[in-house]
Amino acid sequence: MINKIKLLSKLGWYKMTQKYANSSQDYDKASGDYDTFFSDKMGRHSIQLLNKLDIKPGQDVLELACGTGFITNEIAKRLEGSGSITTVDQSQGMLEVAKAKLSSYSTLKLNMQQNDMMRFLGQTPDCHFNTVVCGWAICYTNPVQFMREVNRVLKPNGQVGIIETRIDSEELLMTAFEKVLSNDPSYLRRYINIKLPSNSDVLKRWFLKGDLNTTDLWEGEQPIPCVTSEDALEWILRSGAAAGFLDVIDRTREQEMLGKIKEELDRTLLEEKKLRLSHTYVAGVASKEIS
Ligand SMILES: C[S@@+](CC[C@H](N)C(=O)[O-])C[C@H]1O[C@@H](n2cnc3c(N)ncnc32)[C@H](O)[C@@H]1O
């Protein structure tokens, strides 16, 4: 109980003083493995989102937080060599992988830059893009401000596609992480400022607040096969799923904390005979309708 109070007051203090965790260092580190782990499992759901968008040759497409360019590459295929793709990502490591992946599309106009997505949107003129896509990263912004800016930079009848992790995703790991932190709040060094939706209605509300008209909305779940606690830890570290969360804790004690999380997972394995890990998500498409 005392430790829980300590943890909450520390969290409150870091939030008040805006000592926020930044995910870039963790994504830089995960960039080499991200496609083998995250894209391999979750990429199919991003493709489902792209299949619901009307991306055609000649369009100007903006992808915010492109990461290693998995979605960018799929957009490039759909443009069939004509049009433009602008991408923004904060992590230099992720962006480098994306640039290498896109290097063969010589006839597309490509603008791939390291930037904060809200800063980029703020610098972009009105009515600039036919399509805006953001995969697995709206959580790092203020979603309502994000939608308002997306609306502003979209051309009339432009479309936006969003896919994002749901708050109950990878509950097994989050429960272990929270337990270790509440047992020893001294691990905590920063506040993690991410906004994960609890269901697709939340995404619909974000679209609405940005004056965007929802045309499609769905949710899903991807099981992540894990036999041992080592498998589960490998997934969070190499898929980028722990990005931002590792920056919350005292970096000098990262290995020690991971060891404690492993102990928690081993306890669950002993009690439940199985590690149930799944990545849940919401997704949606909306348009800027001009009456
Ligand atoms: C889970 S990855 C998703 C990457 C890619 N969209 C995909 O579908 O694989 C999240 C990405 O968001 C980027 N990111 C986080 N906060 C950002 C910000 N404020 N501005 C730009 N990029 C950001 C990270 O660097 C990382 O590459």
115 C-alpha vs ligand 1 centroid, how far in Å? 10
Confirm or reject: Cβ of 66 under 6 Å from ligand 1: yes
Express each pLDDT in 123-159 by its tens digit.
Answer: 999 999 999 999 999 999 999 999 999 999 999 999 9
142 by Cβ neighbours in 10 Å (0-12 / 13-18 / 19+) ranks as: middle
Confirm or reject: Cβ of 120 under 6 Å from ligand 1: no
Q: Which helix (H) or strand (E) covers residue 217, if one does?
A: strand 213-223
Residue 22 CA to residue 29 CA, distance in Å, equals 13
* Whether 112 contacts 99, CB under 8 Å: yes
Express each pLDDT in 35-81 by its tens digit.
Answer: 999 999 999 999 999 999 999 999 999 999 999 999 999 999 999 99
Confirm or reject: Cβ of 94 under 6 Å from ligand 1: yes
Express each pLDDT in 14-39 by its tens digit.
Answer: 566 666 767 888 899 999 999 999 99
Confirm or reject: Cβ of 139 under 6 Å from ligand 1: no
20 C-alpha vs ligand 1 centroid, how far in Å? 16
Weakest mean pLDDT among 30-34, 70-74, 245-249, 279-283: 245-249
